[in-house]
Amino acid sequence: MHRLNGPKHAVERVAENCAPHGGVNHKGTMKIVHKWAWTILALVSIILLSASLENWIPINPTEVFGFITGAICVLFVVEQNIWNFPVGIANNIFFIVLFLSSRLYGDMALQVVYILLGLIGWWQWLHGGTNRTELHVNHTSAREILILFVIGAVATAGMREYFIKINDSAPFLDALTTALSLIAQYLLNYKRMENWFVWITADLIYVGLYVQKELYLTAILYALFIGLCVVGYTSWRKSENQSPKEILL
């Protein structure tokens, strides 16, 4: 994630260069929102983990750890904090175990791909800007959107057929959310603003899918992701105004 000679300074540089701007009032408001979000997450995590380990609620500890790391990862993304990548990789590992037990093979395989994409995104955020500097928020071109749409449609159709053959429990939805999530992660890796819209679309489908599979805590997590996506989009829009413009052809 960082160069070995200064991980702390690398994180600080990213935070300084990418933190949302837009006036004292906005910055102060965002700090309060983020502080409350972290506080609530800490309390909820402690309660859920204790309840799961003591068997007060019928929730697998693996799902709880997936919830915790997933929420932390998204909060880091909202803040444009580089640590979203290592936390995200930990989240992928927990969900590999969870989805394997639920026979959601597409989602399970997706986590493996996420780990690889996370490593790429980690490097990209640190060195993907002009002259290998930190990457700033930018936009997806119309041409790139068209290409991604075609790739997503073809990938969904192909994966659906494959998931049917391996007895996946929700072949079409699993294929669709897998394709959407890969596209969203690609856009996130390159700090494209449009990543938030793709994540919201995928998360809406995920909520219904996980409720159907009785993974209620994971469904709640993805419902929270939708709200965080809205916050993230707003925060990135503010930071974009202060970032060097990156023009995509």
- Output DSSP code: residue 82: T
* Mean pLDDT of the chain, nearest integer: 81
Any domain includes 176: yes
The span from the CA of 230 to the CA of 223, in Å, is 12
Any domain includes 60: yes
Any domain includes 2: no
Any domain includes 172: yes
Sign of the dihedral defined by the CA atoms of residues 11, 80, 239, 193, in that order = positive
- Residue 109 or 249, more confident: 109
Any domain includes 249: no
The span from the CA of 207 to the CA of 169, in Å, is 15
Any domain includes 248: no
Any domain includes 158: yes
Structural domain boundaries, residue 189: 7-240
- The domain tally of the chain equals 1
Give the DSSP letter string of 131-185.
GG-----B---HHHHHHHHHHHHHHHHHHHHHHHHTT-SSHHHHHHHHHHHHHHH
**How many CB atoms lie under 10 A from the CB of residue 20?**
22
- What pLDDT sits at residue 207? 93
- What pLDDT sits at residue 83? 92
Of 27, 45, 26, residue with least CA distance to 224: 45
Whether the per-residue pLDDT at 228 is higher than 70: the answer is yes
Any domain includes 199: yes
Q: For residue range 94-103, what is the model confidence (pLDDT) as tens digits? A: 989 888 887 7
pTM of the model: 0.72
Q: What is the mean pLDDT of residues 74-80?
A: 86
Whether the per-residue pLDDT at 110 is higher than 90: the answer is no
Q: Tell me which of 26-40, 98-112, 155-169 is least confident.
A: 26-40
